[in-house]
Amino acid sequence: MSHTPRSLRSRAVLTCGLLVAPLMAGVSGCAGSPDPLSAKPYDAADQISFSGDGDGRKADPDKPLEVTAKGDDSRITDVTATDAAGRYVRGELAHDGKHWRSTVPLAAGAHYTLKVSTEDSNGAPGRRTVDFTTSSARRLLKVTFGPKAGEYGVGQPITAKLSRPVKDPSARAVIERALKVDSRPAVEGVWHWVDSRNLHYRPQEYWPAHATITAHSNLKGIRIGGGLYGGDAKSLRLTTGDRLEALTDSGTHQMTVKRNGVPIRTIPITTGMPGFDTRNGIKVVLAKESAVRMTGASIGLGAGSYDLMVYWAARVTKSGEYVHAAPWSTGSQGYANVSHGCTGMSTANAEWFFNTVRLGDIVQVVHSNGDDMAPFSNGYGDWNMAWADWRKGSAVSGGQSDDTTADSARLRPQV
């Protein structure tokens, strides 16, 4: 018959009921009946079993870890389970002390240490310590952070590309909570699901100037759902430079370049003519090409319309919008819009701009008759989305976004 710890301790007290001042009398009452709670724990291997025991197989991470007391004359008093990093696995012990069960998922391919304390019918303590490993995941989800490590402008989003599509909202939440982005100085930011395989991270405003930003994943070994587990991910570290912003005004035909809020140069420009109007909105420098070939055929014009080598070109959209040298249109720069969508300027100004900006710097176009810059399908248009809408694209902060289809129009350089 099993007893509660209280009844067991009461029995131990009764066996010493006739002892009167043993130290003063110089006799050792209760000889041969020591307090069982003070005894050295015995090996409780025969009194308990756990779900990963017995046949040499690794524990299944898809199932909870369970510890059970054998027979009627023993009970479990305490269970601790920790991974190789010392992190505890939460669990629940039944009221009768007969069963303990983990309440959080185990990681796949991970090593754990299980420590179980027991008590027999006489109140004597037992202990068993077991090391075990969970089986490796069959389907792994790997994460690749972007961009490459280095120094960028304050408009550069952090990206995470998944090796497999994930659409289930609960699985997305598991992933998102495990992808960490930290910055010094600290700013609040949120992941946004661009589609089922791509996430972007940005703060509410631009990154601070001269910040250090790190991204890493805690997803390795974590059960995501549907038999999918987190895999390896290489961490990312990047820094920002000065806050550099180029405001392109298609109405006044001027570009104002600011460094840390202070104007440093005003440049006469020309932007897209009617029918080829430059996109409005905030863009981010994607690449710098000292020379790029641009042809009319690439944007649907006749093969003989133009075929030029263009110099000092800073790319701002995937579809081929650049800020570049346009010596053939210097007479219109500052007065009229005559390009096929790019922002043109003199060779000297273009070389200065090319050497001044870095990837991730901001180029904002206003007062154009063109379409608005898309948030995701044509480069980094992330900053054109209001913060409240951005947060709705998070699986943790307020919902998910639908998959975004690519902009198929004008996918080659414009001039």
185: helix, coil or strand? coil
302 torsion bin: left (phi>0), alpha (psi -120 to 50), beta (else): beta
Whether 377 and 405 have beta carbons less than 8 Å apart is answered as: yes
Q: Active-site residue numbers?
A: 324, 342
Q: Answer with the residue of higher pLDDT: 61 or 2.
A: 61
pTM across the whole model: 0.70
Whether 199 and 193 have beta carbons less than 8 Å apart is answered as: yes
Tokens of 171: 């699985």
pLDDT at position 221: 85
Asked whether the predicted pLDDT for residue 365 surpasses 70, the reply is yes
pLDDT at position 22: 37
pLDDT at position 34: 54
Alpha-carbon distances of 291 from 82, 123, 323, 324, rounded to whole Å? 58, 84, 12, 9
Asked whether the predicted pLDDT for residue 198 surpasses 70, the reply is yes
pLDDT at position 301: 61
pLDDT at position 181: 98
pLDDT at position 44: 75
Asked whether the predicted pLDDT for residue 89 surpasses 50, the reply is yes
% of the chain with per-residue pLDDT over 90: 65
pLDDT at position 298: 59
pLDDT at position 137: 64
Summarised one tens digit per residue, pLDDT across range 119-147 is 888 888 989 998 989 887 678 899 999 99
Tokens of 180: 């960490």
Whether 266 and 335 have beta carbons less than 8 Å apart is answered as: no
pLDDT grade for 402, boundaries at 50, 70 and 90: very low
Asked whether the predicted pLDDT for residue 205 surpasses 50, the reply is yes
Mean pLDDT of the chain: 85
296 torsion bin: left (phi>0), alpha (psi -120 to 50), beta (else): alpha
Spatial CA neighbour of 279 closest among 245, 311, 248? 248
Tokens of 256: 């104002």
Whether 400 and 199 have beta carbons less than 8 Å apart is answered as: no
Alpha-helix residue ranges (DSSP H) falling in 133-197: 169-178
Asked whether the predicted pLDDT for residue 104 surpasses 60, the reply is yes
Summarised one tens digit per residue, pLDDT across range 20-46 is 333 333 334 444 445 555 567 888 778
Asked whether the predicted pLDDT for residue 311 surpasses 70, the reply is yes
Asked whether the predicted pLDDT for residue 8 surpasses 60, the reply is no
Summarised one tens digit per residue, pLDDT across range 340-363 is 999 999 999 999 999 999 999 999
Sheet architecture: strand order including 198-203: 143-146, 158-162, 198-203, 189-193
Average the pLDDT over 73-78 and give the result: 90
Tokens of 157: 């989003």
Average the pLDDT over 179-207 and give the result: 97
Tokens of 103: 């309440």
Q: Answer with the residue of higher pLDDT: 9 or 178.
A: 178
Q: Answer with the residue of higher pLDDT: 226 or 158.
A: 158
